[in-house]
């Protein structure tokens, strides 16, 4: 049911949708929303592995924007679900370019949150000439320090969740990088009796700290748990397939482009230091720190700032 108090635009259905085979293994789901003659936008979901939600279409004025959304390799409606083979940041960037060519788009606004912000920066730095600008939320630069925080540092705020997360792991495998490796081994196991408890524990460990205020527990979703558990652990174990601090080092490739950064002050998944570092490296970007929000894109303060950003870009026309 549509909530008239929500900062989001009303629900909207895709104008087109389909599947695109990107190699012999992976086929990705895509959809197009809004005005076919409008300003193109690329939407990048989080995770990796979280997939799309109908809510993601609602950050954009459908009369003005032509929005392309897709489930990244191994996520959502893309197949095979949770597949980590042939799944790297560089291959996701190639998929984005395939979609751009498929849609006949020369340039687009790039919108991404959490892991979506990581992929947006990586894509922009690889193909700056294809980008009109950026709307980025909950910044994740995929550094070792951020991964260590995600797995261990958060115990300072959620000790009970951390205790629950490490409980299935032998004590000698709980410290430092050994915890991630222990989870990767379980999550990637071919035995469902081993990998299902592991992916559910991983997904729950993240999901219960997304919002600033406690939310009602959602029904378990096997597709979400498998996609998030497998792909997040896979990408973290490989440092996102980046060189050390690559996204900050190469910011000069996109620093001439307009950007809005939206960050929740109390985000304990992607803490504000990453957004601060990005803004320091990219002083032309506008940083909006939402004072009463955590990580969730659907928290009202975050949603309001994201819609405000797309409306701001709308007033800029074609960014000439």
What does each of the 320 residues of the chain score in pLDDT, given as a tens digit?
A: 446 678 999 999 999 999 999 999 999 999 999 999 999 999 999 999 999 999 999 999 999 999 999 999 999 999 999 999 999 999 999 999 999 999 999 999 999 999 999 999 999 999 999 999 999 999 999 999 999 999 999 999 999 999 999 999 999 999 999 999 999 999 999 999 999 999 999 999 999 999 999 887 777 788 899 999 999 999 999 999 999 999 999 999 999 999 999 999 999 999 999 999 999 999 999 999 999 999 999 999 999 999 999 999 998 864 44
Specify the pLDDT at position 1: 41
Structure tokens that stand for 151 in this block: 């797995």
Cα–Cα distance measured from residue 225 to residue 202, given in angstroms and rounded to the nearest whole number = 8
Specify the pLDDT at position 128: 98
Specify the pLDDT at position 2: 47
Answer yes or no: 114 catalytic. yes
> Which among 114, 203, 233, 303 is annotated as catalytic?
114
pTM listed for this prediction: 0.96
CA angle 211, 45, 165 (to 5 degrees): 50
Q: Which CATH number fits domain 16-141+241-315: 3.20.20.60, 3.40.50.1820, 1.25.40.340, 3.30.1370.160?
A: 3.40.50.1820
Specify the pLDDT at position 317: 63
Phi, psi of 157 (to 5 degrees): -105, -35
Answer yes or no: 256 catalytic. no
Answer yes or no: 267 catalytic. yes
Largest CA distance in the chain: 58
Specify the pLDDT at position 3: 63
3-class DSSP state of 278: helix
- Give the single-character DSSP code of 270: S
> Which among 71, 225, 250, 267 is annotated as catalytic?
267
> Which among 26, 56, 195, 295 is annotated as catalytic?
295
CB 301 within 8 A of CB 293: yes
**Quick one: CA dihedral 291, 297, 302, 306, positive or negative?**
positive
**Domain residue extents for the chain:** 16-141+241-315, 144-240
């Amino acid at each position: 049911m549509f909530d008239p108090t929500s900062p989001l635009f009303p629900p909207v259905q895709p104008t087109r949708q389909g599947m695109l085979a990107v190699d012999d293994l992976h086929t990705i789901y895509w959809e197009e929303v809004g005005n076919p003659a409008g300003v193109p936008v690329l939407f990048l979901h989080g995770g990796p592995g979280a997939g799309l939600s109908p809510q993601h279409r609602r950050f954009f004025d459908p009369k003005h924007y032509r929005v392309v959304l897709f489930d990244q390799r191994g996520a959502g409606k893309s197949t095979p679900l949770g597949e980590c083979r042939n799944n790297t940041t560089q291959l996701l960037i190639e998929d984005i370019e395939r979609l751009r060519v498929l849609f006949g788009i020369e340039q687009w606004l790039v919108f991404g949150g959490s892991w979506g912000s990581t992929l947006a920066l990586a894509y922009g730095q690889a193909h700056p000439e294809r980008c009109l600008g950026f709307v980025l939320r909950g910044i994740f630069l995929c550094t070792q320090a951020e991964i260590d925080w995600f797995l261990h540092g958060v115990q300072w705020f959620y000790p009970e969740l951390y205790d629950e997360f490490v409980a299935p792991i032998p004590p000698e495998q709980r410290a430092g990088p050994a915890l991630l490796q222990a989870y990767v081994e379980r999550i990637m196991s071919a035995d469902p009796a081993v990998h299902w408890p592991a992916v559910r524990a991983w997904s729950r460990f993240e999901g219960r700290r997304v919002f600033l205020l406690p939310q009602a527990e959602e029904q378990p979703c096997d597709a979400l748990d498998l996609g998030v558990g497998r792909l997040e652990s896979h990408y973290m174990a490989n440092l996102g397939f980046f060189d050390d601090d690559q996204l900050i080092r190469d910011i000069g490739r996109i620093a001439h482009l307009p950007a809005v950064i939206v960050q929740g002050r109390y985000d304990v998944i992607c803490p504000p230091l990453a957004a601060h570092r990005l803004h320091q490296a990219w002083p032309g970007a506008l940083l909006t720190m939402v004072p009463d929000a955590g990580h969730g894109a659907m928290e009202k303060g975050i949603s309001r700032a994201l819609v405000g950003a797309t409306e701001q870009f709308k007033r800029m026309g074609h960014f000439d």
